[in-house]
Amino acid sequence: MIPEWKLAEEALKNIKVIGHNNNQPVTILGFAEDLTCVGIGTDAAVFRFDKTPNYVFKVYSGKALKKKEVEKDVYERLKQCCYFPQLYGTGPNYIILSFEQGVTLYDCLLQGIPIPEQVIQDVEEAREFVRSQGLNPRDIHLKNVILQNGRGKVIDVSEYIKEGNDPGLRK
C-alpha cells in the first residue's frame, strides 16, 4: 500500500527551493496548483498539499540537504514525544511531517491572543525531553511554538544537534 503523502510527489517536483548566504530566507521557484507554502526558513520552505491536508512537506535547498538528514534523525529520536510533529517519511530533498494546526506564539502576541501558562509548561517539558534524548533544545522562540487547543507544540528541531546556546538569546 502506498502512503497517502506520496500523492504530493509530482507537485513537489515543480518546486525548487534556493538557499542564500548570510542566514537569509530561502527563495521558492516554480509553481504547483495543489501546493501552498505555509512557512519559509533559512534552509527550507514548508508546503501543504491540498489532497493530503494532514501532512506538510519541508523542502530543503540544495545547500541544506545535509540538514535534511540531520533533522530527520532528530525527529526520529523525538518520535515518542507529543510536543513535536511526527515524521512520516522522506523524499530526495524533503521530509514529511504531521501538519500542526494552530497559531504561533509570535502571532498570538501580534493578535492579542492570550497564551495559557500550560503552553509555557509544555515547552519546558519538551525541552527536558529533548535533553533526555541527548540533544540540545536550541532555536525555540515565539515563531517555533504553536498554540494548539490550549497546549504548546514545538516545531523546527533542525538545530538540536548543535552545542551551546543560541547566539540570539539573551538572559
Q: How many domains does the chain contain in total?
A: 2
User: Are 61 and 135 in a shared domain?
Assistant: no
Residue 43 predicted with pLDDT over 90: yes
Residue 84 predicted with pLDDT over 50: yes
122 is catalytic: no
Question: Looking at 98, 132, 165, which one is the last position of a domain?
Answer: 98
User: Are 30 and 107 in a shared domain?
Assistant: no
Q: What is the pLDDT of residue 5?
A: 77
Q: What is the pLDDT of residue 7?
A: 83
171 located within any domain: no
- Cell of residue 19, nine digits: 538557499
107 located within any domain: yes
User: Are 88 and 35 in a shared domain?
Assistant: yes
What domain range includes position 70?
4-98
82 located within any domain: yes
User: Are 13 and 69 in a shared domain?
Assistant: yes
- Number of neighbours of residue 58 by Cβ within 10 angstroms: 28
Q: What is the pLDDT of residue 118?
A: 98
User: Are 110 and 150 in a shared domain?
Assistant: yes
pLDDT digits (tens, 9 = 90+) for 86-126: 999 999 999 999 999 999 999 999 999 999 999 999 999 99
Residue of 34, 73, 107, 139 with catalytic role: 139
User: Are 88 and 107 in a shared domain?
Assistant: no
pLDDT digits (tens, 9 = 90+) for 50-66: 999 999 999 999 999 99
Question: Do the beta carbons of residue 114 and residue 46 sit within 8 Å?
Answer: no
Residue 169 predicted with pLDDT over 50: no
In whole angstroms, give the CA distance from residue 42 to residue 164: 20
Which CATH number do you get for residue 19?
3.30.200.20
